[in-house]
Every structure is written in C-alpha cells, then in structure tokens.
C-alpha cells in the first residue's frame, strides 16, 4: 500500500463512525438494544483508532481533526438524545451534555468568525468527559440490551458524566475568557 493510501485510512474510519450514527439511533428507536450496543461499541473503538493510525501513518490533517470532532459530537449527541427519548438516561443529563457540545461548537464557530482558528486539540478534562460519556452510553446499552451491568454502575456513571461535563464546559469558558484558543 502506498503512503498516500495509508493516509486515507484514518479519515475513512472516521467517516465509518459518522455513518454508524443513524444506524445506532435507528436500532435504539426500534428496540434492538443488543445490536445497538455492538454498533455503538464498534463506533466508540474507532474514536481512538483513527487518531492512533493518523499518528502512526504521519497522516494528521486539519480535515481529519475536524472530521473526528464532528464524528464524536454526532455520535454522542445523537445517542444521548435517543437514550433520553427512550427513557434510559435522565433528560437533565441529555440537556447538559448537548448544551456543553453546543457551547463548544458555538465557540469554535465564533472563533472562526473573528478569524481566530482554534487549536483542534481537546483539553484533558474534555478527553475524560468523552470517555465517561462513551462508557455511560455503552453501559446503558449493555444493561438494556444484554443485561450484564451490575447494580449501581449506571447511576454512578451518570454522576461522573455530569461532573466531567460541567468541568469541561467550565474549563473551556475560563480558557476562552483568558484568551486561550482551543477546541
């Protein structure tokens, strides 16, 4: 395989994650919880895989960074809204998660509007928040679809997701207030 073709693999994986979003939403809405779990797990794994391959193939790009961020937001926001609609996670948490992502996307758009390109490198608390959100959604799907989650795990993860979502959103606001540009 040529280096140019290898360089396409991370972006193709990211696009596959984007294409998985409507499928996992449909599976949840139609009560196909076990397949929804497996599609979500596969999509979640690609979240780390595409970035690792981009670094390994020296194929990092601005397009890839934006596609990755869009795929992350699309997957998590769509799944959280759908799980909230299905009554599997509290609506207040859905609103909190979606509001944080709207804040971040709005901030990025605002920075572009004033000709300040944001650094497409998430802060540490944002990475922790993404992992917590992925784990919670996966555990909810595993609990409903496979019945394999221990009592108390989901409520604990709800608290963790709420805390990291608030901390992450707050960290971005403070950073932007101090003039640090990042997304």
Are 123 and 175 within 8 A, CB to CB? yes
**Of the candidates 47, 155, 166, the residue with the CA atom closest to the CA atom of residue 99:** 166
Of 1-15, 29-43, 94-108, 155-169, which range is least confident?
1-15
pLDDT at 15: 92
pLDDT of residue 180: 60
As a three-state string, the secondary structure of 46-69 is HHHHHHHHHHHCCCCCHHHHHHHH
Q: How many CB atoms lie within 10 A of CB 33?
A: 19
CA separation for the pair 167, 128 (Å, rounded): 10
The answer to which of 36-40, 101-105, 130-134, 156-160 has the lowest mean pLDDT is 101-105
Q: How many CB atoms lie within 10 A of CB 172?
A: 22
Q: In order of start, what are the domains of the chain with their CATH numbers? A: 3-177 (1.20.120.1760)
pLDDT in tens, 57-72: 777 777 777 788 889 9
**For the whole model, what pTM was predicted?**
0.88
């Amino acid at each position: 395989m040529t280096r140019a073709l290898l360089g396409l693999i991370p972006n193709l994986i990211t696009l596959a994650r984007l294409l998985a979003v409507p499928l996992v939403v449909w599976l949840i809405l139609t009560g196909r919880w076990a397949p929804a779990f497996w599609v979500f797990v596969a999509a979640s794994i690609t979240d780390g895989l595409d970035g690792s391959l981009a670094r390994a193939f020296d194929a990092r790009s601005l397009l890839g960074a934006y596609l990755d961020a869009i795929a992350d937001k699309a997957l998590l926001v769509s799944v959280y809204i759908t799980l909230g609609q299905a009554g599997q996670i509290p609506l207040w948490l859905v609103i909190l998660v979606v509001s944080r992502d709207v804040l971040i996307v709005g901030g990025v758009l605002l920075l572009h509007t004033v000709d300040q390109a944001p650094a497409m490198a998430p802060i540490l608390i944002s990475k922790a928040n993404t992992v917590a959100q992925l784990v919670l959604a996966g555990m909810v799907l595993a609990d409903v679809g496979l019945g394999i989650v221990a009592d108390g795990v989901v409520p604990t993860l709800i608290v963790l997701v709420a805390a990291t979502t608030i901390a992450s959103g707050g960290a971005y606001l403070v950073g932007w207030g101090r003039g640090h540009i990042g997304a």
